Every structure is written in C-alpha cells, then in structure tokens.
Amino acid sequence: MFNAVLIDKSDSGQVAGLSRIDTSQLPPGDVLVDVAWSTLNYKDALAITGASPVVRSFPMVPGIDFAGVVAESSNPGFKPGDRVLLNGWGVGEKHWGGLAERACVSGDWLVPLPEGISLRQAMAIGTAGYTAMLCVIALEHSGVTPESGEIVVTGAVGGVGSIATMLLAARGYKVAAVTGRPAEADYLTSLGASSIIDRAELSQPGRPLAKERWAGGIDVAGGVVLANVLAAMRYRGAVAACGLAGGMELPTTVAPFILRGVSLTGIDSVMCPKPERTIAWQRLAQELDIAKLEGMTTEVELADVVSTAPKFLEGQVRGRNLVPVNPLLGLE
C-alpha cells in the first residue's frame, strides 16, 4: 500500500483527497517507479479542483510529472535503480500520475535523469522549466538572437515565465517581464528581467498592429494578451505560445503575419517527441542557474496538495511548487 492523491467522481460531483492505494491497482505499464519528487502545476490545479475538464477518466491520480527510481522494469531501456523523470504523455489526465509514492508507466515516456542534477532539482525544474526551454529553443530556431532585441515574457511570475526569464537572461537576452502583480518586481529583476510591464497594458483589446516593441515573445496567457503581443512584434519577430491562462480564444488578425512576417509557434510539452525533450533536459542541466532556481521553489507536502491547488487559480502562486513524495530516494 502507498499514499496517493486521488480524484474521483460521483453523482454529487468530483472529490479529491489523499488515499491509500495498493500497487495492484496501478494502471498497466512496463516500468514501476518509486517516486521521489513530484510537483504541483497549473494543470494539476485544474484537475484537482475540477475547474476544467482535464481528467479524462476516474478515478485518477493527478501529477503531470515526477522524478524517481526504477523499482521494476520489463522495458529493455531501464533497469531497477535507474534514476528517471517524466513529463506529459497524458499522465495525470488519462494515466495515473506522479502525485503518489509509486507510478507505473510506459518506459517510452521516461527520460534518464541528466548528469549534473538531482531528482529534487529535476522536479524544481519540472514541466514548467522543460516547457520554458522548448520555448527558448523555438525562438532560437526562428532566428531570434540577443542582438535582435528585447523578448517579452507573459505570466512571468509563474513557473514557466520565471524559468523562461532566467534562461533568456542567462543567454544574454533582454527580458520584458509581464505580470499583474507589481509587488513581484524585485523577484523578477532578481531572475534577470530588464524591465517590468503591468499586465493591464496588454489585457484590453488593441489595434491589429501596434508600435513595434519586441523581437520575440514567450506567452503563457493566450487570449487578448497574446493578440497584443503579436501586434507589437518587430519585423520578423517570433512568439512561442504554450498556455491559455488568459483564455483559449485568439482575437487577432492576419496583419502581424503578412505585414511584418511575424511567426507564431505552438509549444506542446505533452506529446513532444523524446529526442527533442531529451535535448531540452540536457540543456536545462547545463544552462539553468540552480541557485536561482532554489530561490523560486516552495515545497508542498503531499497531504497539502489538494488544499493548495485552488491558490493557482486565484493567482497566489509564485515560481515552482515542489512535492517531496519520498525525498530520501536516490540519495544513497
């Protein structure tokens, strides 16, 4: 038996809480992992609160990522004792996820822990950091360099935005960090932001084309915010979009694309092919300032996950929320 956050549904509605589960109840998979660390993300909060239909079947263990040690494996790529991590692949949505002491998954979904980081650090990075790196790589592939001009990052206080700001600043980019929480200006500056923009500037419908401001952008908001970011891109600018915190619709026109040659790249961290995610993780291990990462990390006990989840939807969360499931694993 082991502990897990479990979401279930009945005629009276959805309920989530800490439960005891037997290993025999785990879904099929060719690798059994003892989970050391997991995280609490915006998508997990949507699943746990039921604010969005993230969960595809019930009962469900949420948790879109985890890091741990292989306990059993019939997959030729992994053996007991291997240190691994997982992001996406529908885990926590369609397949039981990482907010549990054990997880049974396909070995095709696992990435070996990169050299130079611990299991804890891997989850301090988590899906948020992995997604941020995919966004940075997308901007690089679009030809956006530090010399191109300033990069705008929306939702900069959140997990993706915070790590994107750190990664860009470390590579020499000037970063305009967008937030609706002006009290966090010092925090964003400490991550490397060169300027702070009030989210209100981008939250109202704007013109199809605005004054050219930014060479690139990383957007977690969608909606009107993304439309305004696109309208203010410089000629041949590029935007990597990875979220919908501000809405799923995109009320824009073709003007930025056909008059300024702006490109919009969608970033999907869930089904991203394994070779690309492996490169992203290797770069994270090499480029991310672990000391700064520690400063933006908060630990949330497994027993407190359900009560903490609503804070994401209320905009009360900063940086990364790390869940110590079995933190002594992998330390020997």
For residue 192, the model assigns a pLDDT of 95
pLDDT(95) > 90: yes
0.95 cut: is pTM over it? no
24 and 131 assigned to the same domain: no
CA 65 – CA 42 distance, rounded (Å): 12
Residue 142 phi, psi (nearest 5): -85, 0
Residue 118 is assigned to a structural domain of this protein: no
Average pLDDT over residues 161-186: 95
| Domain that includes residue 144, residue range | 127-266
pLDDT(332) > 60: no
Residue 282 is assigned to a structural domain of this protein: no
Count the domains in the chain: 2
131 and 262 assigned to the same domain: yes
Give the CATH number, domain containing residue 304. 3.90.180.10
Q: Single out the residue in 248, 266, 284 at which a domain terminates.
A: 266
141 and 172 assigned to the same domain: yes
Give the CATH number, domain containing residue 231. 3.40.50.720
Query: Taking phi first (over 0 means left), then psi (-120 to 50 degrees means alpha), and beta for anything else, what does residue 84 get?
Result: beta
192 exposed, middle or buried (CB, 10 Å; 0-12, 13-18, 19+)? buried
